[in-house]
Structure 1
Amino acid sequence: MRHILIVGAGQSGLQLALGLQSQGYELTLMSNRTADEIRGGRVMSTQCMFRTALDHERDLGLNFWEERAPRIEGLGISVAGPSTPGGHPRVIDWVGRLDGHAQSVDQRIKMAGWMETFEQRGGQVVIHGAAVSDLDVLVRKYDLVLVAAGKGELVSLFGRDTARSPYDTPRRALAVAYVHGLDPRPEHPDVEAVRCNLVPGVGEFFVMPALTTTGRADILFWEAVPGGPADAFQDITDPSEHLERVLELMEHFTPWEYARATKVELTDAGCTLSGRYAPTVRHPIGRLPGGGLVLGVADVVVANDPITGQGSNSAAKCAAVYLESILERGDRPFDEEWMRTTFDRYWESARHVTKWTNTMLAPPPEHIVHLLDAGSAFPAVAHRIANGFDDPSDFENFFYEPEKAAAYLEEVREEAEAAEAAEAEAEADDVAGDEAEVEADDRAHEVVRSFR
């Protein structure tokens, strides 16, 4: 039986641990907090997961909260126009339907529940904040050591990949608040949707339905341009003051969202979060002082900004790739070549996320603005952009290059015009059919009268 150590009890670490455990591997999970400490602590993320990532959980039977969490059926984009005396009006506004529903489950619930499940199934949990010196000893006792803790000293083992990391400073300042009492969007009151609000020069504001420790909630999430007017949370430690600042910014920059938030209240004492970090891709293999090797997992080696909502999705996809690669390896050693190949398999999907995320962190070029605007007129465009959140690789086909975007929009317009023409022809046929039916009835009546 192979012995594996996973350091870190987040989405990727726990999903991978439970997956390997179900296949008969002997697992040790190292976490710096107990399940109860996680459950009673501060929120860790916004974690909206789309269909593919949710399917990885379903495949392992880990979708414990699927019936309780809100079913997110759509994803909407709104763009604020220039400031007016009445605030910032919307110049773009649409919602696209998702092919498969998304969900957001507070990681305090999920990680605590998964950790308890792992222990109940016989897994060993060690509560200890691992240091490099610890791994230098432990790497000799296990067939494989995986580092899935994206913060702290261990990240220093993995050098920055400069070729894949265009930014070396934070591109957004993040501020999150979980709330109860948010009203639905009046234009789509029956559609649970993630709302992405873009405020040029200021940042982005997201709203998403979620399940938290106190039940159904909504997450309010500012991504502020550093040094800009929404970068206003650095010195705030009081949760109530944090929410007050979130609402002030909403009222000024996204009044259509603020209008439904006038009665909100915080869900619990630990439901706010703020911070910033530079999006970074790191080399996947860490070399310990004693020569041992460890493999980085998920955001340890690919840490994207949350602007595209891909963190938990990428973590789930990474865990699925690593699980498959470990199972395929059988009894052969987990050597450096295997580690590099395993990461490369993950990078095949992660590279699309990184490219898309880094694109959205920069001011959008004209052709992307045209694409976003087209979502209002053409549901097919809204649908495609919305479902790109589940499969970012599709953006390669129409999003990044002006020529591809123009060709795609022309194709959409032609299809829409053809559909309108077909509809008009069908309506004309219906009118002609009605007239023919009346004429036939008249003739029938004449025949009947002729026999009288």
Structure 2
Amino acid sequence: MSVDPKRAALRKILIVGAGQAGLQLALGLQSHGYDVTVMSNRTADEIRTGRVMSTQCMFATALQHERDLGLNFWEDQAPRIEGLGVSVSAPDAGRAIDWVGRLRGHAQSVDQRVKMAGWMETFTERGGKLVIHGVAVSDLDYFARAYDLVLVAAGKGEIVSMFRRDAARSPYDAPQRALAVSYVHGLGPRPEHPDFLAVRCNLVPGVGELFVMPTLTTSGPADILFWEGVPGGPVDVFQGIKDPAEHLRLTLELMRRFVPWEYDRARSVELTDAGGTLAGRYAPTVRRPIGELPSGGLVLGVADVVVANDPITGQGSNNAAKCAASYLASIVERGAEPFDRDWMQSAFDRYWNHAAPVTKWTNAMLAPPPEHVLGLIGAAGGLQPVADRFANGFDDPADYERWFFDPELAGAYLAEVQAAAGPAA
């Protein structure tokens, strides 16, 4: 994938939004010689000292996209995540299921306050134009005439309304989980695997999920405690909580009540900083990729602007990295041809090949699991290949299509693994 640097420099591209996708794409285009401008509503310092923005855990493929661009600045500092475990609570608050799968390639989480501030500074150091300004639809009308291509990578605010909801790909029209995040220091190890780090997914039927993941934050290595509560249920209690200490107290109280095995190692945790909590909810939505401006100009939506999945499967930052890599390839391959409507649609369709399996899997995990899925999750406790395959699906969600969704495929896969394991299994 190459482009004539002189020709690329003549092409002016504007990216609105300075998150994982926007900055990764901007830095990638910059490396190919494009004239790139990024617009952000916050400076690097404001991001670095602000509130946490996400619960990002990036798996091997997404991390490789960063390495390919030389943007893996924190790889030696961030905790190496080598497994992904699942626990399912029993009615007596014990564990009906508990296992961990090993990842083929390690995962990592870097607080977006660290990464986005660092990438933003790198972009400007390399000569990129950074404009600190909130953007309205009326602004985009002007920019669409001034730039060869305008990409919208800011997933919140007025400009998202330009991208119409794709009802055929959006089965939910309301939030399916209430989200509550705490970044903490002082979490103890899981005694089941003290020799390696894993993301832990704790499923509480009818109540929600607690995710625990190692991360790197502004104050060094830490852990994220992340509740996903069924709306209206006992975990849906964080709305309106402004005090970070109260947010953490509620987090721990719910852990003590529903996942005591995780609470046992969290008794002494403290928030990493005053900005280390986050709460909210949103409806998982796929949108049409092309925004039409009043003047007739067109802009292309990026990552969660057009594909916003619930974080229950931890795919947000992975999708963003894959979208940025896909769009970078589509832009470079376009050469000097216009970025017209047909090209915009084809660029999104190319990314949708990655995002469609993620969307199907994520939406399925938000619903009560069918009998055969319960069987797979249960069998993983005694069949390590099943646990490992489930864990590695977080890196390659397309694999679930081959064994997870269909009861017959699931049954055939389990029979194959059991036969290979022998009579003891």
Give the TM bin, normalised by the shorter chain: over 0.9
Matches of 1:129 and 1:243 in 2, distance apart?
A: 32
Distance in 1, matches of 2:14 and 2:188, equals 45
Matches within 5 A, 1:357-368: 357-368=362-373
**Shift of the alpha carbon at 1:392?**
0.1
**2:309, 2:197 → 1: CA distance?**
26
Q: Which of 161, 169, 177 is the equivalent residue of 1:172?
A: 177
Q: Deviations over 1:8-61 (max 9, x none)?
A: 000000000000000000000000000000000000001000000000000000
Q: Secondary structure of the equivalent of 1:117? A: helix
The residue identity in structure 1 corresponding to 2:182 is A
Counterpart Cα distance in 2 of 1:349 and 1:313: 10
Residues 161-190 of structure 1, C-alpha deviation per residue, up to 9 Å, x if partnerless? 000000000000000000000000011111
Which secondary structure does the structure 1 equivalent of 2:237 belong to? coil
Distance in 1 (alpha carbons) for counterparts of 2:404 and 2:143: 46
1:267 aligns with 2:272: yes
The answer for the alignment partner of 1:153 in structure 2 is 158
Is 1:41 equivalent to 2:46 in the alignment? no
Partner SS, residue 49 of structure 1: coil
Correspondence for 2:338: 333
1:235 deviation in Å? 2.2
The alpha-carbon deviation at position 142 of structure 1 amounts to: 0.3
| Other-structure match for 1:205 | 210
Task: Quote the residue 1:6 is aligned against.
Answer: 15
- Secondary structure class of the residue paired with 1:48: coil
Cα distance between partner residues in 2 of 1:371 and 1:191:
24
Give the superposition deviation at 1:409.
0.5
C-alpha distance in structure 2 between counterparts of 1:173 and 1:392, whole Å: 24
Q: Read off the aligned partner of 1:130 and give its amino acid letter.
A: V
Give how far 1:143 is off.
0.3
Which residue of 2 is the match for residue 252 of structure 1?
257
Secondary structure in 2 aligned to 1:413?
A: helix
Matches within 5 A, 1:31-70: 31-70=40-79
Match of 2:89 in 1: 80
Q: Secondary structure at the match of 1:151?
A: coil
Counterparts of 1:208-247 in structure 2, within 5 Å, are 208-247=213-252
Paired residue type of 1:93 = D
**Correspondence for 2:147:** 142
Q: Secondary structure at the match of 2:176?
A: coil
Q: How many residues align?
A: 416
Q: How does 1:336-347 map to 2 (within 5 A)?
A: 336-347=341-352
CA offsets 1:253-302 (integer angstroms, 9 cap, x no match): 00000000010000001000000000000000000000000000000000
Do residues 162 (structure 1) and 170 (structure 2) align? Answer: no
- Tell me, in whole angstroms, the C-alpha distance in 2 between the residues paired with 1:113 and 1:345: 29
- Partner of 1:393, secondary structure, is helix
User: Is 1:283 aligned with 2:292?
Assistant: no
Aligned: 1:401 with 2:410: no
- Please tell me the residue identity of whatever aligns with 1:104: S
- Any gaps of 5 or more consecutive residues in structure 1? 422-452
Q: CA deviation at 1:309?
A: 0.1
Secondary structure of 1:140 counterpart: helix
Scaled by the length of structure 2, the TM-score of the pair is: 0.97
Q: Which residue of 2 aligns with 1:417?
A: 422
Amino acid at match of 1:41: G
RMSD value over aligned CA atoms? 0.8
Match of 2:6 in 1: none
Matches of 2:404 and 2:175 in 1, distance apart?
24
For the pair 1:375 / 2:384, whether they are aligned, the reply is no
Determine the structure 1 residue equivalent to 2:5: none
* Unpaired runs of at least 5, structure 2: 1-9
SS in 1 for 2:376: helix
TM superposition score normalised by structure 1: 0.91
Structure 1 Cα separation of the partners of residues 302 and 194 of structure 2: 39
What's the offset of the Cα at 1:232?
0.8
Cα distance in 1 for partners of 2:329, 2:414 equals 39
Equivalent position to 1:301, from 306, 310, 321: 306
Equivalent in the alignment of 1:109: 114
What is the match of residue 3 of structure 2? none
Q: Deviations over 1:63-95 (max 9, x none)?
A: 00000000000000000011x3xxx11000000
Q: Deviations over 1:382-427 (max 9, x none)?
A: 0000000000000000111111111110111011017x69xxxxxx
1:115: Cα distance to partner? 0.2
- Three-state SS of the structure 2 residue aligned to 1:183 is coil
Name the aligned partner's letter for residue 12 of structure 1: A
- 1:105-152 deviation line (CA, Å, top 9, x unaligned): 000000000000000000000000100000001110000000000000
CA distance in 2, matches of 1:190, 1:224: 30
* SS of equivalent residue, structure 1 residue 376: coil
CA–CA separation in structure 1 for the residues paired with 2:46 and 2:192: 40
| Structure 2 Cα separation of the partners of residues 317 and 239 of structure 1 | 33
